[in-house]
Amino acid sequence: MQRGGGCLSGLQRTGSQIASLYPCSNASRQVLNLSGFWDFRFDPGDAGLDAGWGAGFAPQRPIAVPASWNEQFEEALDYLGPAWYQTRFILPWGWSGKRVRLRFGSVNYLAAVWLNGAHLGEHEGGHLPFEFDAAPYLRAGENLLVVRVEGELAPDRVPPGRIPPDPRDDFPHRNHPDTSFDFFPFCGIHRPVVLYATPRDAITDLTVRTELEGTTGLVRVRLDRTPGDGATARLSLKGHGAEVAEEVSLSGETAEIELTLPDVAPWSPEAPNLYELAAELSRGGEVFDRYSLPVGVRTVTVEGDALLINGEPVKLRGFGRHEDFPVAGRGLVPPAVVKDYALMRWVGANSFRTSHYPYSEEAMDLADRLGFLVIDETPAVGLFFAEEGLGRRLQLCRQYVRELVARDKNRPAVILWSLANEPHSKRPGAKEFFRELYGLTKSLDPTRPVTLASMHEEADEAFEFCDLICLNRYFGWYTEPGMLEEGFARLSEDLDAAHARYHKPVIVTEFGADALPGCHSHPPEMFTEEYQAEMISGYVRVLEEKPYVAGQHVWNLCDFKTAQEARRVGGMNLKGVFTRDRRPKLAAHRLRQFWNARHDEDTR
């Protein structure tokens, strides 16, 4: 069976566009959320393209959007091949003549989109938003939107993977333990799909950078707009008893404006203060477009061995996580997002990494509001550097960096960009690959440190230019199994060696042990709650003693679904300190005692 993605090459590639500002409704803008139950059909024979399903197809069954398909239908758990979605909607009154965009929050992995039979384009890669100009294809009254989704694993994709066809099955594209990563390769439309309208002459982007000078906050904003006649751009910041505004006249497509906030209330984990930035475009005194955005005034710097927020050293305590929810798979479940923040707060965490792909914009909004510090990671997990396909993988990684920075650049919660998780970077070519991505990230956002998470015993060569060192460590689990004390000793030596080599702050971005909930032993044995609790406590003790360790992220907040293989009981990675249905294991209680005590000491 030919891999589905290849079949799309015959289509005219109009291409999707990078999505930045999250759509909003106000006096000049409107949003139509298309989430709900869509028509759906699997296409294991990949017949839909030739049969013209882009113009509409005979539905097989309903499916929830957003959500993965894998846990909605019992026969499709492992199916990653082509599938088709369609929905109908009525164009809201008053939208004709406007600039109308169709925006997808995340489709995993490859999306091809048709509106009223017209092929709008494609997007490769899950977890990041993309959009299309929909206006030329919309009709008054009913409209038909069709999306073909395909999520097979292949070495030239990122993340890469390999799935040998299985002729015994009606669904020949199967998941396989030979993925390059340890989480379930869920497929589908994972985040909301919206249609939004703005005036034709509109604000297209805002880029906010903040600085602190004593008690004064400086907020530099770049405003981008569609090409158009001269206009006045007005920016105001409101909140915490202050209101400041500036105006400039705008002949081209960008304006740069600086706003000053005397006696600023900075954003920090303890006080996640947000101001409302309101941008307006007007002509002849009449406002024709507006957009508002929460802004937190804060700085992030790396100095010597420390990571500083607002000039003060910070120690990250928290988790690597997954977007992984029963039934919804990787689909957005707003109450689960709220619950996970509540659990992290309860345990005393102040941060997390978006392992191993960017999380939903909705979840990131809450991090800004709740004061969590986020290491924001691209979807580049399990990269390898064989020459074949390397150029394509680099091109995709560049695209992911551009899309991620465009999406999250204004978020105070995001304090670090992570380029990748556990690349096989001892291979030739890896260092240059990452040097290029590092340079691209810095050129797009010079304000945040850039790193990647590495598993190597010896630290990674890319750490020569990364701003800090992120290490995933499993001594006492994958190495020294069952030997906790030996594991702690190796951890200590290993971290000292990495620090001695690079003289940069170190964050241990993963450490942990699988524990079957309800499984106990004394003395602690592997896979029991006691072993997990002892291992995590021992690591935390070592990490707290090292002045150059700027962060500790337990792997994982919750148990999560992964590929079926011998070491994964029930197809689950059980390293969560909470179960997949969010019940605490012993380790969660231990961490809670430890981190809350440390937090009290730090803030005393």
Q: Chain-centre distance of CA 191, in angstroms?
A: 12
Q: Which is nearer to ligand GCB, 108 or 573 (CB)?
A: 573
- Distance of alpha carbon 80 from alpha carbon 511, whole angstroms: 30
List CB contacts of 303: < 8 A, sequence separation 6 or more.
none
Query: How many Cβ atoms are within 10 Å of 40's Cβ, its own excluded?
Result: 24
Q: Which is nearer to ligand GCB, 356 or 409 (CB)?
A: 356
Nearest to 433 by CA among 405, 470, 392, 471: 392
What is the closest distance, in whole angstroms, from the C-beta atom of residue 519 to ligand GCB in the complex? Answer: 17
What is the closest distance, in whole angstroms, from the C-beta atom of residue 400 to ligand GCB in the complex? Answer: 17
What is the closest distance, in whole angstroms, from the C-beta atom of residue 145 to ligand GCB in the complex? Answer: 34
Nearest to 457 by CA among 494, 407, 489: 494
What is the closest distance, in whole angstroms, from the C-beta atom of residue 363 to ligand GCB in the complex? Answer: 19
Cα 103–Cα 108–Cα 113 angle in degrees, nearest 5: 45
Residues found near ligand GCB in the complex (CB under 6 A)? 182, 356, 421-422, 455, 472, 510, 555, 573, 575
Q: Which is nearer to ligand GCB, 555 or 594 (CB)?
A: 555
What is the closest distance, in whole angstroms, from the C-beta atom of residue 387 to ligand GCB in the complex? Answer: 25
Tokens for 144?
């038909």
List CB contacts of 395: < 8 A, sequence separation 6 or more.
none
Length of the chain: 604
Tokens for 174?
């199967």
What is the closest distance, in whole angstroms, from the C-beta atom of residue 57 to ligand GCB in the complex? Answer: 36
Q: Which is nearer to ligand GCB, 165 or 482 (CB)?
A: 482
Q: Which is nearer to ligand GCB, 204 or 472 (CB)?
A: 472
**Furthest CA-CA distance within the chain:** 78
What is the closest distance, in whole angstroms, from the C-beta atom of residue 537 to ligand GCB in the complex? Answer: 18
List CB contacts of 168: < 8 A, sequence separation 6 or more.
none
For the chain, give me the number of helices (H) and strands (E)?
8, 34
What is the closest distance, in whole angstroms, from the C-beta atom of residue 573 to ligand GCB in the complex? Answer: 5
C-beta contacts of 427-434 below 8 A and 24+ residues apart = 427/384, 427/385, 427/386, 428/385, 429/385, 429/387, 429/390, 430/383, 430/385, 430/461, 430/462, 431/461, 431/462, 431/464, 433/383, 433/385, 433/390, 433/394, 433/397, 434/462, 434/465, 434/466
Q: How far is CA 569 from CA 15, 236, 504, 527, in A?
A: 41, 54, 38, 10
- 403: alpha, beta or left, given left = phi > 0 and alpha = psi -120 to 50? alpha
Report DSSP state, residue 292. Answer: E
Tokens for 4?
């589905």
Q: Which is nearer to ligand GCB, 288 or 578 (CB)?
A: 578
- Distance of alpha carbon 419 from alpha carbon 430, whole angstroms: 12
Q: Which is nearer to ligand GCB, 555 or 595 (CB)?
A: 555
Packed helices 529-545 and 586-603: angle between N→C axes, nearest 10 degrees: 20
* Element of type H or E holding 131: strand 130-133
C-beta contacts of 473-480 below 8 A and 24+ residues apart = 473/508, 473/510, 473/511, 473/539, 474/510, 474/511, 474/512, 476/513, 476/535, 476/538, 477/512, 477/513, 477/514, 477/526, 477/535
485 CB burial (10 A radius; 0-12, 13-18, 19+): exposed
What is the closest distance, in whole angstroms, from the C-beta atom of residue 179 to ligand GCB in the complex? Answer: 10
Q: Which is nearer to ligand GCB, 87 or 573 (CB)?
A: 573
Q: Which is nearer to ligand GCB, 39 or 324 (CB)?
A: 324
Q: Which is nearer to ligand GCB, 115 or 515 (CB)?
A: 515
C-beta contacts of 438-442 below 8 A and 24+ residues apart = 438/462, 438/465, 438/466, 440/398, 440/401, 440/402, 441/401, 441/405, 441/417
Active site residues: 422, 510
Type of residue found at 153: L
What is the closest distance, in whole angstroms, from the C-beta atom of residue 527 to ligand GCB in the complex? Answer: 13
What is the closest distance, in whole angstroms, from the C-beta atom of residue 419 to ligand GCB in the complex? Answer: 14
Asked if 233 contacts 48 with a C-beta cutoff of 8 angstroms, the reply is: no
Q: Which residue is nearest to ligand GCB (CB)?
A: 182
Q: Which is nearer to ligand GCB, 203 or 572 (CB)?
A: 572
- Distance of alpha carbon 175 from alpha carbon 161, whole angstroms: 9
Tokens for 454?
């590495």
User: What residues are paired with 113 via a beta bridge?
Assistant: 121, 147
Q: Which is nearer to ligand GCB, 320 or 348 (CB)?
A: 320
- Distance of alpha carbon 236 from alpha carbon 257, whole angstroms: 10
